[in-house]
Structure 1
């Protein structure tokens, strides 16, 4: 006898690549997953879907806007019958002292009339771990990992209990590694004890996949969980144990891909800069660099990039258009133009190039950077993404139907910090 048909998990992600990151891990855990861009305004067929991730652009917007958008997503997901809700943010806890993680989590808890939630940003397979409440990226504390130079949300404190306490008026507690080693029952009891003491948010240590398995078992009946995508891979097994989810074969199966291939990169993270360098080393004539200080002067550089891409695509050659640059160049552009305008110029140029080149026949598109991905997806008018197989941890191929196109667009949206050094070339090998 099959499971009663309703979506099992409804997730609210604070950016586009973060949504895809979570959706990827849900598929790897055995769930058929759909990512929707913003709160749907019309009915969507969810008959063969187990999890829906609503992608918002709420990580760096004003707090009130982030809260309102997240509550709208929550309302829609509850209407779809979601058994559990998940608030997804970056595994590097990108935020400021004002939010938006704390205020959004508080608003969701209040709407659900729930007493407590957990904070589980860890994604060990991607080097994001938490120990004694301190977030590490690889072997470096968060504030010494490069994230202290993030252009929008510089992270200068690795103590997540302290970071979150600046964002919420409620008490923040800790579930440390020694507790997790005692198992799910002890962890669940600890949560209950903290709740009795008025602790609303519990930051959770996680050093490996086993820790995430313990946390998934301990939290599966919580109305709301929050964190990075690592927890998303551990939850499906618990849903099956609860009898909410059937065993599913090939949850990430997509249609065959076709069309030209294109990489657009707006991220300036260390990982993406290394990926750009690797691509250019393999294809010295395959890249075109965009610069905000040139873009502000008019459309000339954007038109040059378009002509460059069309020529390369006509030759069936690899093509990369990028605005990725080292921190000093980024700071110089921001000092001259302002942070928001510099980012807007890059996002607008890359998204307009995406629209034109997809119309020209690009059928396989890779976009690097959360803000850039959001701009590209919005410009293309994409409203849903079916989640396919993983390229690298946190990054799957997806497919999106486009108006006027017989075949869906194959699309990979990469968070700036994710992916191996050869990601820009190997991704298309995975798709093939």
Structure 2
């Protein structure tokens, strides 16, 4: 078996395929596992990503599940460990990024790590400790209205300091641009002052490589998939990826399942509906007990095989807030996730074999409903979103698990070309 170079724990399923795509493109033999496998499971890979659904659960549960995954990876003697979270730092004042990072440092008997959610390929950069989405600070982007993790502060040092007892500081760009030796010197002084987590500026991929080289002696990295690019480069990853699992196959029945209400996904839904049929899931109907799932499945079965169909729960921020106030944040989200999961399961049982799923929480719910155990990485559709393949009792499934914020307006239309 190949030596395990990187053991990664991802806090949601879209993030897992995102970072696995980076490892695979860097030439590492990569596998995504859904949840923690049995202790005796044998996995032949240089990079293993364990996908969890811990981004929005209670911090104590997130820590417990994440530590179980880390301990499984430690039994495989990974050379480096990686905690993957979103490039928009999706979290709340209570966590879960801070608590999980703190627990990982303790488990690994380490006293220092970095936090770097920069992903320049998708317009996520960090300057003076502030996270930018494109040209605007995080708190001025669509993330300010996220239904589960609204980001009201772009300063990651402040955000992270609220989530952990550890001391947090920033390694700013004037240091990063001077190279790995300058970053190492800064870190030495920071550690002497009791700093345990360094929020590290990055404006481009070259910065991420410098950062990874400077900290390559650390056992633990935390960040988005951009930092994974830097780490693979610093470790001398391969230059070619032979893991493309795209198949020479006749096109299967296709569907898009969208639970995200992000600005990007709302635009993608609007674009697809211009010349494709869609069925909208209404939260009020779900809450009233109407057979929304049955109606949606009947609607879909009558249309499968023409063009890709769209089942969506898109709503504007005002409608999302109103639903949350009526039903509660968790209850409103669960209603939608459960409905979309049940609809997806019925579609797959009726021959759909190529699926795009939009939204981190939705993707997690759908993959669990399908009882998927592992994913193989295929062709990249857009930065952060590859096609993946899994074996299912109905046959081979092709899935694209898309973070709500990723992709251009034609993502739902153009993704199929990559198959």
Q: For 1:5 and 1:338, how far apart are their aligned partners in 2?
A: 47
Question: Which residue, out of 210, 215, 227, partners 2:211?
Answer: 215
Question: Which residue, out of 300, 319, 325, partners 2:291?
Answer: 300
How many pairs does the alignment contain? 418
1:179-235 per-residue CA deviation (whole Å, 9 max, x = no partner) reads 111111211221122112110000000111111111121122210000011111222
Q: For 1:248 and 1:130, how far apart are their aligned partners in 2?
A: 29
Call closer, same or farther: CA 1:234–1:251 in 2, change over 3 Å: farther
Call closer, same or farther: CA 1:106–1:34 in 2, change over 3 Å: same
Shift of 1:316: 2.6
The answer to whether residue 29 in structure 2 is matched with residue 39 in structure 1 is no
1:143-181 per-residue CA deviation (whole Å, 9 max, x = no partner) reads 110211111111111111111111111211111111111
Call closer, same or farther: CA 1:20–1:246 in 2, change over 3 Å: closer
Question: Which residue, out of 403, 413, 416, partners 1:425?
Answer: 413
2:267 alignment partner in structure 1: 274
Shift of 1:359: 1.1
SS in 1 for 2:235: helix
1:318-345 per-residue CA deviation (whole Å, 9 max, x = no partner) reads 2000001111111122122211111111
Call closer, same or farther: CA 1:360–1:43 in 2, change over 3 Å: farther
2:327 alignment partner in structure 1: 337
1:408 alignment partner in structure 2: 396
Q: For 1:66 and 1:324, how far apart are their aligned partners in 2?
A: 27
**TM-score under structure 2 length normalisation:** 0.97
- The answer to whether the 8 A contact 1:32-1:252 is kept is no
Q: For 1:287 and 1:249, how far apart are their aligned partners in 2?
A: 36
**TM-score under structure 1 length normalisation:** 0.94
The answer to whether residue 115 in structure 2 is matched with residue 123 in structure 1 is no
1:311 alignment partner in structure 2: 302
Q: For 1:230 and 1:65, how far apart are their aligned partners in 2?
A: 27
Question: How does 1:1-400 map onto structure 2 within 5 Å?
Answer: 5-41=2-38, 43-47=40-44, 49-240=45-236, 248-257=240-249, 258-283=251-276, 286-313=277-304, 315-400=305-390
Shift of 1:44: 3.9
Shift of 1:42: 5.6
Q: What are the ranges of 5 or more consecutive residues in structure 1 without an aligned counterpart?
A: none
- The answer to whether the 8 A contact 2:127-2:201 is kept is yes
SS in 1 for 2:354: strand
- The answer to whether the 8 A contact 1:288-1:320 is kept is yes
Call closer, same or farther: CA 1:362–1:267 in 2, change over 3 Å: same
Shift of 1:141: 0.6
Shift of 1:357: 1.0
